[in-house]
């Protein structure tokens, strides 16, 4: 595992520092995309600004990508691809307004969009808001 993390960082062009390893492990342990606040809880007592610095580097080095959830908060998730972040690696997200969780719709790729000349996209958010199956079942049994 340790070895695997080091070679992963190497291939992404990132030095494996203690904090970076901890953040990567936390992200790998998550089932859903996470916010900075979620990570702060998981990684306590690491402070928020250290986590944020690591995430910013991870974004630059294509280790994670980020999108805004239904509250406008940035969610982070690990890139699936080996090399540079591939657009095909990104997908639509579903945000449940009841449990405030983001879900990956991995089988729903982002639609291809042709931007007018001169516009350079840096990130793209495609979030559907609603209720997840679990919350829906709970409502029905109320």
Total Cβ atoms within 10 A of residue 95: 23
Q: Examine residue 138 and tell whether it contacts Zn ion (CB under 5 A).
A: no
Q: Examine residue 7 and tell whether it contacts Zn ion (CB under 5 A).
A: no
And the tokens for 68? 């805004």
Number of residues that bind Zn ion (CB under 5 A): 11
- Asked if the peptide bond before residue 45 counts as cis, ω within 30 degrees of 0, the response is yes
All residues at 6 or more sequence positions from 67 whose CB lies less than 8 Å from its CB, including other chains: 33, 74, 75, 90, 93, 123, 124, 125, 126, 127
Of residues 30 and 40, the one with the C-beta less far from Zn ion = 30
Of 99, 108, 124, 128, the residue at the interface with Zn ion (CB under 5 A) is: 99
Report the nearest approach of Zn ion to the CB of residue 67 (Å). Answer: 8
Stretch near Zn ion under the rule CB under 5 A, chosen from 6-14, 43-51, 90-98, 122-130 = 90-98
Q: Examine residue 135 and tell whether it contacts Zn ion (CB under 5 A).
A: yes
Q: Examine residue 69 and tell whether it contacts Zn ion (CB under 5 A).
A: no
Of residues 12 and 65, the one with the C-beta less far from Zn ion = 65
Q: Examine residue 77 and tell whether it contacts Zn ion (CB under 5 A).
A: yes
Report the nearest approach of Zn ion to the CB of residue 107 (Å). Answer: 11
SS3 content of the chain, % helix, strand, coil (to 5): 40, 20, 40
All residues at 6 or more sequence positions from 80 whose CB lies less than 8 Å from its CB, including other chains: 86, 89
Which residues lie near Zn ion (CB under 5 A)?
65, 77, 79, 85, 89, 96, 98-99, 104, 132, 135
């Amino acid at each position: 595992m340790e070895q695997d993390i080091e070679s992963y960082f190497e291939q992404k062009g990132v030095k494996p520092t203690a904090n970076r390893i901890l953040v990567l492990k936390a992200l790998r342990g998550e089932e859903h995309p996470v916010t900075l606040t979620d990570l702060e809880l998981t990684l306590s007592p690491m402070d928020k600004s250290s986590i944020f610095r690591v995430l910013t580097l991870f974004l630059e080095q294509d280790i994670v990508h980020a999108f805004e959830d239904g509250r406008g908060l940035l969610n982070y998730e690990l890139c699936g691809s080996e090399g540079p972040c591939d657009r095909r690696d990104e997908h639509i997200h579903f945000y449940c307004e009841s449990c405030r969780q983001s879900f990956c719709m991995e089988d729903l790729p982002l639609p291809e969009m042709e931007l007018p000349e001169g516009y350079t996209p840096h990130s793209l958010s495609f979030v559907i808001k609603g209720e997840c199956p679990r919350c829906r079942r709970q409502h029905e049994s109320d």
